[in-house]
Structure 1
């Protein structure tokens, strides 16, 4: 599968590496592609670096792992190219880093997802990889026994199925919570956020077990 990744920082770089190791073709969309030479070199030809627009072009799915405050600008840059593709959104507001846009998202009664969804109304948005620290993603992928749980929420059944596959390929246990309106159940401040729970442990407090 061809996957575009917006950002190559802690989450994007870690998940992108895991997908490349699983055999997917990964393109990191960044402002300075040349700076990723060492990361790219270590992935055996399964990864490239390009602009954000180039990463989205031709991708079967896109993972957003950018600072939350960057969403309005990035959405304007890639929206036309993204169209109705699957967009896995791993972004989380981090006050005070993300300013008024991040604060407003955290204050929404319908959840963080609905600060992003209106910016890219055609995209098949799935909240994914938004609850686990990058260090855990890097150290616990493909672990023996119960794997780390990654909750997912989205309104498109095919997009959710694709997200489940990609979470599994990265070495984790996908936990489908429901439509996008249910993503608030694993937003910052909830029991399962930043918990490092297994899939079964994530499912239990969400009433999915």
Structure 2
């Protein structure tokens, strides 16, 4: 599968490496693609880098792993190329880094997802990879025993199923929580956020057992 990743930092770079190792074609969309030479050379030709538009236009599915404050500008830049493709949103507001946009998202009663969804209304949005530290993703993928749980929420069933498959490919346990309105159950400040819980533990904490 061709996967575009917006950002090649801690989350995007880590998940992108895991997907490339699983055999997927990964394209990173970054401001300075030339800076990724050493990372790309270690991925055996399974990954490339270019602009955000390059990554989105050539992808079957897109993962956003950008600073939360960047969303308004990035959404305007990629909206036409993204269209109605599946978009995995791993972004999380980080005060004070993300300013008023991030603060407003954290204050929403309906959850962080609905600060992003209106910016790209045609996309099939799934919250994914938004709860786990990059160090956990890096060190715990495909671990022995129960895999680390990755909560997922989205309104398009096929998009959520695709997210679940790609979470598994990366070496984690996909935990389908429900429609996008349920993503608030694993937003910052909830019991499962940044907990490192296994899939069974996440399901128990969210009453999904």
Bucket of the pairwise TM-score, normalised by the shorter protein: over 0.9
- What does 1:141-180 align with in structure 2 at a 5 Å threshold? 141-180=141-180
**CA apart distance, 1:205:** 1.4
- What does 1:101-120 align with in structure 2 at a 5 Å threshold? 101-120=101-120
**CA apart distance, 1:187:** 0.1
What is the SS of the residue equivalent to 2:205? coil
- Mapped to 2, the partners of 1:24 and 1:89 lie a distance apart of 19
Name segments (4+ residues, structure 1) moved above 2 Å: none
**CA apart distance, 1:142:** 0.2
- What does 1:39-78 align with in structure 2 at a 5 Å threshold? 39-78=39-78
When the two structures are superposed, what TM-score results if normalisation uses the length of structure 1? 1.00
**CA apart distance, 1:101:** 0.0
| 1:81 aligned onto 2:71 | no
Q: Could you list the runs of 5+ residues in structure 2 that have no partner in the other structure?
A: none
Give 2:184's aligned residue: 184
- Mapped to 2, the partners of 1:40 and 1:185 lie a distance apart of 35
| 1:206 aligned onto 2:199 | no
Deviations 1:135-194 (A, max 9, x none): 000000000110000000000000000000000000000000000000000000000000
**CA apart distance, 1:58:** 2.0
**CA apart distance, 1:51:** 0.1
- Mapped to 2, the partners of 1:136 and 1:200 lie a distance apart of 17
- Mapped to 2, the partners of 1:206 and 1:200 lie a distance apart of 10
Give 1:127's aligned residue: 127
Give 2:139's aligned residue: 139
- Mapped to 2, the partners of 1:129 and 1:27 lie a distance apart of 18
Please, what is the CA RMSD of the aligned residues?
A: 0.3
**CA apart distance, 1:36:** 0.1
